[in-house]
Amino acid sequence: MKSLRLAAVVCVLLAGCRSGNSPDASWVGTWATAPQLVEPHNMPPPPGLAGNTLRQIVHVSLGGDRLRVRFSNEYGKTPMVLQAVHLADAREGSAIDPATDRVLTFGGHPSVTIPPGGTVTSDPFDYPLRPLSNVAITIYFGEVPADLTGHPGSRTTSYLQEGNAVDAPEMPDAVTFERWYVINGIDVVAPDAAVVVTLGNSITDGRGSGTNKQNRWPDELARRLQSDPRTRRVGVVNMGIGGNCVVRQCLGPSARERFARDVLHQPGARWVIVFEGINDIGGAEGGLEGALAMADSLIAAYRWMIDQAHARGLRIYGATLLPFEGAFYYTPEREQARQRVNEWIRTSGAFDAVIDLDAALRDPTHPTRLHPDWDTGDHLHPNEAGHRRIAEAIDLTLFVDDAP
C-alpha cells in the first residue's frame, strides 16, 4: 500500500506521468481549456471551494469508451486537495444522470493532493462517452490555495454547493457562476483519431456565443467535423483565453509562452489553427511606427510557432485577423498593422494553409468593419451567427488528407 501511494505522489510531482496507462494507449484530447491565474474579480463566490463541492459542465468533441481527466494547480503556491471527484452525463442545469456517475481515482485512491505548480491525471476508467455530449465533473475540495488555477471564460454555468455533495443527483441550492476552476482536460483512448487545437483570444474562447449553448466557433467546428464521415475522428480542443496576447503579457500567459503547453503537448494533436494577434495590435503604442513594429513582432512570433509545430510534425494554419473599426482600441494606424499582418498570412506561404476569416466576416461595403449580421455590437467580437460563420469558413478538407 505504501508503494502505491508513493508511486501516485511521484506521478503527480513529475506532472507528465500518466498513472495506470498502458504504454501503448493512444490518448486523444476530446475537451480541454487553457489554465491561467484567476484574477481577484474572478475568484469563486462564497462559500468558496475549500470544504465544498463544485460541479462543472464541459462539452466534448470526440466520443470513446475509456477516459482520463486532467487537473491543474499550475498557479497555486500551496497544495490543492481533491477529496473526491466524480464524472457523469450532464442533464439540465446542475442535474446529472445518476446511472452514469463514476468515481475517479488517482493511483488507486479516491483523493489526491496536487502540489504547487503541478498537474495530475486520473487513472483511466471505462465510460461510454458520446461525441458532442455534455458531462459534469464534480469535485469535493479539501485544502485550496489562495492563488487559483482556472479559466474564467467558461460560457457555461458551474454550481457550488456547501459541504460534500459530490454524488448529488442535482444541486438546487447551489451558488452559480460562469467560470471553471482546476479542470484542465478530458482524453479518450482513440487510436484512429487526432485533434485540431484552436489557439486564440476571447473570440476563440467564446465571447459573443451563448451561455450554456456550447456554440463557440470551435464547438461549431467540432459539430461540422462530426457530421462529415471523412472527419468524424477529428476532435477539437479550445485553447482560447479572453484578453490574451501573442507577444506580450496581457491576460493569461502569452500565446508564445503557452504554445508548448497548450498546443505541442496536447494529447493527439495533429493540427493547430492560430487565430490571435488583434489584442497585441490594439495595445500597440507609438503611432504608426509602433503599430507596424508590433505587426512585425507578430509575424516573427508566427514564424516561431510554425517552426515549433513543424518540428513536432503538426500542420499549422493561419487565420487572418478580423476587422475592428469602431472597437474601443481601434485607430487608423493599428488598422494598417492589421493589414500588414493579414497580407503576410495570406501571401507568405509560411503557414500550411490560410483560413481567411477577415474575408468571411467583414462588411463588403466597409471592409474595415465586421459585417453587422455577425457583430455583437462592440465591433470586435462576433455574435452567435458570427461564430457559426467562422466555423463554416474553415475548409474541412484541411483535416482530410492526413486524417487518421
pLDDT tens track for 312-353? 999 999 999 999 999 999 999 999 999 999 999 999 999 999
Which percentage of the chain shows pLDDT scores above 70? 93
Residues of the chain with CATH 3.40.50.1110: 192-399
Q: How confident is the model at residue 401 (pLDDT cuts 50, 70, 90)?
A: low
pLDDT, position 402: 56
**Which amino acid is residue 126, in one-letter code?**
D
Grid coordinates standing for 2? Answer: 505504501
**Which amino acid is residue 250, in one-letter code?**
C
b/e per residue 9-42 (b: at least 16 CB within 10 A): eebbeebebbbbbeeebbbbbbbbbbbbebeeeb
pLDDT digits (tens, 9 = 90+) for 54-108: 999 999 999 999 999 999 999 999 999 999 999 999 999 999 999 999 999 999 9
pLDDT, position 296: 98
The residue with cell 470526440 is: 62
Q: Is the pLDDT of residue 40 over 80?
A: yes
Which percentage of the chain shows pLDDT scores above 90? 93
Q: Is the pLDDT of residue 6 over 60?
A: no
- Percentages helix, strand, coil for the chain, rounded to the nearest 5? 30, 30, 45
pLDDT, position 3: 33
β-strand partners of 87? 102, 137
pLDDT digits (tens, 9 = 90+) for 376-386: 999 999 999 99
pTM: 0.93
Phi and psi (nearest 5°) for 102? -125, 140
Distance CA 314, CA 237 (A): 15
pLDDT, position 17: 38
β-strand partners of 196? 236, 271
Q: Is the pLDDT of residue 23 over 50?
A: no
Distance CA 309, CA 126 (A): 32
Fold of 192-399: Rossmann fold (3.40.50)
β-strand partners of 177? 158
Distance CA 289, CA 115 (A): 46
